[in-house]
Amino acid sequence: MGNFENILYEADGAVGTITLNRPDKLNPLDWGTVRELKALLGQINEDGAVRVVVVTGAGRAFSAGGDLEGYLTLYRRPDDLSQFLRDFYDVNRLIEESDKIFIASVNGVTVAGGLELMLACDVVIAAAEARIGDGHLNFAQLPGAGGSQRLPRAIGALRAKRLMLTGELVTGVEAERIGLVTFAVPDDRLAVETRRLAEAMLEKSPSALKGAKYLVHQAGQTDLEAGLALEIDFVHRYATTDADAMEGLEAFKEKRKPEYKRTR
């Protein structure tokens, strides 16, 4: 899927893996990398063979965030800065609105823009000794790729302000405790457990996975009553029109493994 300078992509069956690949710089999310991610995600979302996408980093970092030296130039070019922020916004929305399930496999340092990219993913599995946090205020910066909005939705306002206002980093284990990551595993088990998680998801109905992701995402976008009404309408349509819903019930009744249809 194209040739990129800062990222790698590999598809293995129905699992695609995006690797941020500038380990010498701790995988910065500079403008060039963000634009590459945006282009790649557009291609992945059109690939019907891939159903689960893993996002990870090369070396000892997932991503240490933006290119602070590069910001010196961007800040003097307001139009470029605006486009950079819009491109990063697009990257995270492409992940959130995708039919695919995105797993952030957090292998190490994850700060600022790295945290913002992680928060856009559907599931986060972290190495126990990874170091994760916001970190923007350590250099008088502010989160501009959704961090101030997604972080409190993930862990609550008080815990979000703790991470944002102190700039401290927490381990993968602590991140699991406060709900910042889905779960943490021993560092040397991260790749194996990430693949195991992806394979478990591939056993599910593609359309049901897509539906569950959509419903949970909508829960963060609307009030409870509107969300409940949306759920009723969505589930009614799914149960009465999608063959997988009936196949799951028939398989349960007949004590066999379901045979779900493939989507797109």
- Three-state secondary-structure class, residue 12: strand
Place of tokens 């790749």: 191
- Please give the pLDDT value at position 262: 62
Whether the predicted pLDDT of 149 surpasses 50 = yes
- Please give the pLDDT value at position 69: 86
Distance between alpha carbon 32 and the CA centroid of its chain, in Å? 19
Residue predicted with more confidence, 123 or 246: 123
| Third-level CATH fold of 7-202 | 2-enoyl-CoA Hydratase; Chain A, domain 1 (3.90.226)
- Rounded Cα distance between 115 and 64, Å, is 8
- Rounded Cα distance between 70 and 74, Å, is 6
Whether the predicted pLDDT of 263 surpasses 70 = no
The 10s digit of each residue's pLDDT in 79-112 is 999 999 999 999 999 999 999 999 999 999 999 9
Place of tokens 């970190």: 135
Burial 151-162 (b: 16+ CB within 10 A, else e): bbebbeeebbeb
Token digits of residue 88: 């990063």
The 10s digit of each residue's pLDDT in 7-49 is 999 999 999 999 999 999 999 999 999 999 999 999 999 998 9
Q: Give the confidence band of 2 by pLDDT, cuts at 50, 70, 90.
A: low
Q: How far is CA 230 from CA 71, 98, 218, 233, 240, in A?
A: 41, 19, 9, 5, 16
- Please give the pLDDT value at position 264: 44
Token digits of residue 135: 């970190």
Burial class of 4 by CB neighbour count within 10 A (0 to 12, 13 to 18, 19+): middle
Whether the CB-CB separation of 203 and 14 falls below 8 Å is answered with no
Question: Looking at residues 230-257, what average pLDDT do you find?
Answer: 91
What value does the mean pLDDT of the chain take?
93
The 10s digit of each residue's pLDDT in 106-141 is 999 999 999 999 999 999 999 999 999 999 999 999
Most distant CA pair in the chain, distance: 66
The domain spans of the chain are 7-202, 206-254
SS3 for 109-163, per residue? Answer: EEECHHHHHHHHCCEEEEECCCEEECCHHHHCCCCCCCHHHHHHHHHCHHHHHHH
Query: What is the model's pTM?
Result: 0.92
Sheet-wide strand order for 7-12: 7-12, 15-20, 52-57, 101-106, 123-127, 183-185
Say what the alpha-carbon torsion angle 112, 52, 126, 59 is, to the nearest 10 degrees: -70
Token digits of residue 213: 């992701």
